[in-house]
A and B are shown apart, each in its own frame.
Chain A
Amino acid sequence: MTAPATASRTLAMVERNFMLYRRSVTPLLSAMVEPVLYLAAIGVGVGLLVGDVPGVHVRYAAWVAPAILATTAMNTAFNQTSFGVFTRIRADRTYEAIIPTPLSIVDIAYGEVVSAVVNAVLTSIGFVVVMAVTGLVTSAGVLLAVPASVLVGFAFAAGGLAATTFLRDFADFQYVQLVMLPMYLFATTFYPLWTYPAALRPLVEILPLYQSIQLVREPALGHLGWSVLVPVAYLLAFGTLAMRIATRRMARLMLT
């Protein structure tokens, strides 16, 4: 059995990741470019064709923006613990260099997840600023997107880490895409839940991204109620479960 993670050793891993960022912030900045472009093309461009979202009475762009924020938090966190971690295992062999140090594989796992969450929060702050500058803020509740991105980041960082332990090769990432792309398209990012037939709605509602979008979008549009606790509980449970799977499997794979 491996020793449980400790805060100081986890932070050593986080520090290692951020030392790389000190050399260049371009990875984080370029992670912002794509969602902003999507916001402009789909939110504003296609939004002209859509007008107001039926039943919500806000401009389409203002309705899409919080969802793109949630997907950005998801992608930032997920990419770091999936593609990033796999590269560090397979190509860079970073962990082989870390294992002889006092850090255990569990410390590495927690360290990667914490730094992924920090990145998710940073991109969320950046995106809230973009929304404010472009006049897409409808309620002060949009500020809750920042704490929400901690949860979204945690759930998907842990999920990405767990998924990574099942991959054999870089080519396997196309199967990861096969899960992530439909989730991105169908989790009510671009159109509301009522456009689906009633029978399909539960399938959409159990998606972790749907819960993440609910957590960000509802407060951002000024609907803040107890119902927000549902996605909070869901994402916590999802992240915790994924974290257990990830640490167990990583410990076994690394033979520590």
Chain B
Amino acid sequence: MWREFTYWLLQYKRTWRGSIVISVANPLLFLLGIGAGLGHLVDRHAPAQIAGVSYLAFFAPGMLAAAAMQTGFIESAGRVAMAAGFDGSYRAATTTPLTPAQIMAGHLLFIAFRLATSAAAFVVVMLAFRVTHGWWTLGALAGALLTGLAFGAPAAAWAVGLRQTRHINSVFRFVIMPMYLFSGTFFAVAELPGWLRPVAYALPLYHGAALCRTLSLGTATLAGTAVHAGILLALAVAGIAAARVAYRRRLQP
């Protein structure tokens, strides 16, 4: 497992500079552009309409969860499908004593590492904007990591058996993007028309955004946090269990 993890770490050493810039610049730009810029219009029109805080403080934790979802999905699905492909690195790994389950665990560990580092960068930006504070921040960070894994692990289970990588783009466009926009990241789910609300509550990202938001604003309740975290954890665990089977199927000769 560690060998597979260090393989991806070694790969990452080649491109980390660009990705660090991206993982700091992305949240910074979104918080400035949408949070502060658009928030200016929102706060002017309806001050403290959402959860009694500024739009920026409302939007930032939602975006933290959404960014974790995107990182989790892209890092996982894209790279797993490539690595499992005909000349991917999994092929080389299967000829070593590594078992498919170890390859899977090592790769997921690397995805968790990427999720943790980019979420940490995001949280640092949030602290700089003073939209979160204290120990609650660490809770939001953990919430983001959990959100990312709730998407990353099932995505790995799905992508390892994939023969054509273009399906990943379609899923990103038609599943991840809509979820990103309508899970209470940009506006509260309570604003949606009544018949759409149950759909939104069923979305995993809704729970990720709610988890990160309540933790970041310090309004979390024990029951609420347990429900949100429980659903995400169940998804991550189910994803890992499915990935174990899928990896064995694809990689066992």
Contacts and interface: CB of A to CB of B under 8 A. Distances in A.
Contact of A45 (B21, B174, B178, B191): B191
A46 B192 CA distance: 11
B88 interface: no
B249 to A, nearest CB: 28
B-side interface size class: 20 to 34
Contact of A51 (B21, B45, B170): B45
| Most A Cβ at <10 Å: residue of B19, B40, B173, B181 | B181
A199 interface: no
A60 B19 CA distance: 34
B25 A178 contact: yes
A190 B37 contact: yes
23 contacts: A30-B173, A33-B173, A33-B174, A34-B177, A37-B181, A38-B181, A40-B182, A45-B181, A45-B187, A46-B42, A49-B45, A49-B55, A49-B187, A51-B46, A53-B41, A54-B41, A174-B19, A174-B22, A181-B29, A185-B29, A190-B33, A191-B38, A195-B41
Contacts of A33: 173-174, 177
- Nearest first, the 9 closest Cβ-Cβ pairs linking A and B are A185-B33, A41-B181, A45-B187, A49-B42, A51-B45, A174-B18, A50-B41, A190-B38, A191-B37
A165 B148 CA distance: 35
Nearest to A30: B173
Given A178-B25, A185-B30, 12 more contacts: A30-B170, A30-B173, A38-B181, A45-B187, A49-B46, A51-B45, A181-B29, A185-B33, A186-B33, A190-B33, A190-B34, A191-B38
B83 interface: no
A253 interface: no
B37 A171 contact: no
Contacts of A174: 18-19, 21-22
A49 B33 CA distance: 16
Nearest to B182: A41
Given A46-B187, A190-B38, A191-B40, A34 B29 contact: no
Contacts of A37: 177-178, 181
A13 B29 CA distance: 38
Nearest to A181: B29
A202 B38 CA distance: 19
Nearest to A41: B181
B234 interface: no
B99 to A, nearest CB: 31
Contacts of B170: 30
B94 interface: no
Given A50-B41, A51-B45, A185 B174 contact: no
Interface string A167-198: 00001101101100110011000110001000
A50 B42 contact: yes
B227 interface: no
B186 interface: yes
